[in-house]
C-alpha cells in the first residue's frame, strides 16, 4: 500500500499550492496528469479530494514543477497564513449560518450588528489575502 498525505491540512495545502502552480505556469490539469502518468479523471478526482493523495505522485508533481516535495505539502509561511485565514473565514461563515438558523443572532447584539462585525472580519481576511479563494479553488 502506498503512503498518503497524513492530514487534511496537508491535503488542503497541497491543493492550494498545486492550483497556484498550475495557474502560474498556465498548465491544465490534463497536461499535468499525462506528464506524471495518471489518468485525467483519476487526477481530477485526486486533486479535488475524492481520492487519496499518494506521496509518489506528489513527488512527481514537485519534480515536474521543479519545486521541493516539502513545498508541495507544507507550502510557505505565507501559504500557511492564508490557510489559517481561510479556516477563520469558514468558521465565521459557519458560525453566522448556525446562529441565523437558530435565530440567535440577537442574543447579545442586534442581527445587523452581528452581521456587520462578521462581515468586517471577512473583509479583513480578504484584504490581507486577496487571492485566497483563487489559490484554493483554482
Question: Residue 106: its pLDDT value, please?
Answer: 54
CB 89 within 8 A of CB 137: no
Give the pTM.
0.57
pLDDT at 34 over 90: yes
Confidence category of residue 2, pLDDT binned at 50, 70, 90: very low
CB 105 within 8 A of CB 111: yes
Confidence category of residue 71, pLDDT binned at 50, 70, 90: confident
What would the mean pLDDT of 77-100 be, rounded to a whole number?
A: 74
Rounded Cα–Cα distance for residues 122 and 125 (Å): 5
Question: Residue 121: its pLDDT value, please?
Answer: 74
Question: Residue 1: its pLDDT value, please?
Answer: 37
Q: Which three cell numbers stand for residue 100?
A: 441565523
C-alpha angle 130-136-138 in degrees, rounded to nearest 5: 95
Question: Residue 65: its pLDDT value, please?
Answer: 94
Question: Residue 118: its pLDDT value, please?
Answer: 72
Question: Residue 116: its pLDDT value, please?
Answer: 76
C-alpha angle 135-22-123 in degrees, rounded to nearest 5: 10
Considering the domain 8-74, what is its CATH architecture? Orthogonal Bundle (1.10)
Amino acid at each position: 500500500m502506498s503512503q498518503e498525505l497524513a492530514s487534511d491540512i496537508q491535503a488542503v495545502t497541497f491543493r492550494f499550492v498545486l492550483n497556484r502552480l498550475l495557474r502560474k505556469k498556465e498548465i491544465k490539469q490534463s497536461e499535468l496528469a499525462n506528464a506524471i502518468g495518471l489518468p485525467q479523471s483519476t487526477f481530477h478526482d485526486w486533486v479535488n479530494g475524492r481520492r487519496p493523495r499518494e506521496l509518489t505522485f506528489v513527488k512527481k508533481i514537485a519534480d515536474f514543477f521543479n519545486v521541493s516535495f516539502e513545498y508541495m505539502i507544507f507550502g510557505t509561511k505565507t501559504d500557511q497564513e492564508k490557510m489559517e485565514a481561510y479556516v477563520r473565514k469558514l468558521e465565521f461563515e459557519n458560525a453566522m449560518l448556525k446562529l441565523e438558523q437558530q435565530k440567535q443572532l440577537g442574543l447579545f447584539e442586534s442581527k445587523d450588528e452581528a452581521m456587520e462585525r462578521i462581515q468586517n472580519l471577512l473583509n479583513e481576511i480578504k484584504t490581507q489575502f486577496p487571492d485566497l479563494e483563487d489559490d484554493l479553488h483554482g
